[in-house]
């Protein structure tokens, strides 16, 4: 199960992940035991029944579950344990993965955990951000429950959960979050998460967005660049051609965030989430942190020219 085809991570990445999470997992287990017995331990370390799944297998089971979204009963059969054992392992390791944050390109050992960290990093390094939203289909709430229509997306016409992703010009993931019901607009999700406030606190940070964040571009015209508005049908032909070329250049500069989102979509839970909706944000944060580890190793791409080049000479 440690093959990259199952877990989506190479062996070196998986080994480093196990080593990184071993300390926090041990501390969390000791804290839970101390709270349960109401004081210090009375026996030596290691006494009592051991775990049916060792820690390395617990991490591996969780990563495979996040990658393939296999039934927990199938994973239990593969490891020769009961289904509650696999469920307990996932509930222990998944919060640790979700709390790791996001890797910083060319800065090993440093993680971005909040939006304030992302904007401070972008301002210090002069990084131009790319912001976009995506949706994941989730289970429909039961009939009669309040807020049942909150997950119905007007765009997808499905029950979805909406997230916001921030990357840089090289397609490297810097932050992904702001999980909201699918009915909420992308711009509303950004404002409730505090992205607009971070733009106000960091006036040197610039970002490129799509048409869904037009209001944000209107509030911060010197920082946020949205696609140009379409001219009316009575506009001259040259003006319409200029608008089309300006839109093409803006889309070409912003397409890297779509590639970043596609890296996340390779993980099955973010294609169609089958679990409980209250665990979606934690699952998404765990997957995004693992994806950022992969994208942070990507080298910076050179800035390509967007000027038109004449393919062949024409004669009048």
Residue 161 makes CB contacts below 8 A (sequence gap 6+) with 135, 136, 138, 151, 179, 180, 181, 182, 273, 277, 280, 284
Q: What is the three-class DSSP state of 188? A: helix
- 34: pLDDT confidence band, cut at 50, 70 and 90? confident
Average pLDDT over residues 256-281: 91
Mean pLDDT (the chain, rounded): 85
Q: Is 56 in contact with 18 (CB distance < 8 Å)?
A: yes
* Residue 228, pLDDT above cutoff 70: yes
Q: How confident is the model at residue 49 (pLDDT cuts 50, 70, 90)?
A: low
pLDDT at 78 > cutoff 70:
yes
Grade residue 45 by pLDDT with cuts at 50, 70 and 90: low
pLDDT score recorded for residue 187? 78
Please write the tens of the pLDDT for every residue from 237-263: 888 888 888 888 988 888 989 999 999
The pLDDT confidence band at residue 316, using thresholds 50, 70 and 90, is very low
pLDDT digits (tens, 9 = 90+) for 117-171: 999 999 999 899 999 888 999 988 887 777 778 888 888 888 899 899 999 988 8
For residue 180, the model assigns a pLDDT of: 87
Q: Which of 110, 81, 85, 111 is nearest to 99 (CA)?
A: 111
User: Sign of dihedral through CA atoms 216, 286, 73, 64?
Assistant: positive
Residue with tokens 């909040």: 114
Query: What's the confidence (pLDDT) of residue 300?
Result: 66
Does 299 or 85 have the greater pLDDT score? 85
Q: Check residue 100 and give left, alpha or beta (phi > 0: left; psi -120 to 50: alpha).
A: alpha
Between the alpha carbon of residue 218 and those of residues 224, 240, 305, the distances in Å are 8, 22, 27
Predicted local confidence at residue 189, as pLDDT: 78
Rounded to an integer, the average pLDDT of 19-34 is 86
For 285-313, write each residue's pLDDT tens digit: 999 999 999 888 877 654 444 444 444 55
pLDDT of residue 308: 46
Residue 127: name the closest of 205, 203, 220 by CA.
205
Q: What is the pLDDT of residue 92?
A: 92
Q: What is the pTM of this model?
A: 0.85
């Amino acid at each position: 199960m440690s093959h990259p085809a199952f877990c989506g991570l190479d062996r070196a990445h998986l080994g480093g992940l196990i080593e990184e999470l071993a300390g926090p997992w041990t501390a969390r287990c000791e804290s839970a035991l101390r709270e349960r017995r109401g004081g210090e331990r009375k026996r030596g370390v290691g006494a009592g029944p051991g775990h049916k799944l060792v820690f390395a297998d617990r991490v591996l089971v969780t990563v495979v579950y996040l990658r393939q979204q296999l039934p927990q009963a199938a994973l239990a059969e593969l490891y020769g344990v009961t289904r509650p054992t696999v469920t307990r392992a996932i509930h222990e390791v998944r919060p640790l993965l979700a709390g790791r944050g996001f890797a910083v390109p060319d800065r090993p050992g440093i993680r971005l955990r909040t939006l304030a960290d992302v904007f401070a990093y972008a301002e210090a390094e002069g990084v131009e951000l790319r912001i976009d939203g995506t949706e994941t289909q989730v289970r429909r709430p039961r009939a009669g429950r309040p807020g049942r229509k909150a997950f119905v997306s007007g765009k997808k016409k499905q029950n979805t959960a909406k997230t916001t992703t921030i990357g840089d010009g090289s397609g490297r993931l810097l932050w992904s979050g702001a999980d909201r019901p699918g009915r909420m607009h992308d711009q509303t999700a950004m404002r409730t998460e505090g992205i607009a406030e971070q733009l106000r606190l960091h006036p040197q940070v610039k970002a490129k967005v799509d048409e869904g964040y037009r209001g944000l571009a209107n509030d911060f015209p010197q920082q946020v660049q949205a696609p140009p508005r379409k001219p009316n049908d009575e506009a001259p032909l040259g003006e319409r051609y200029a608008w089309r070329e300006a839109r093409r250049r803006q889309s070409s500069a912003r397409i890297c965030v779509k590639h970043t989102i596609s890296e996340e979509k390779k993980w099955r839970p973010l294609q169609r989430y089958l679990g409980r909706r209250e665990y979606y944000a934690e699952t998404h944060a765990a997957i995004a942190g693992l994806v950022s580890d992969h994208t942070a190793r990507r080298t910076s791409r050179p800035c390509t020219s967007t000027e038109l080049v004449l393919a062949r000479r024409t004669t009048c």
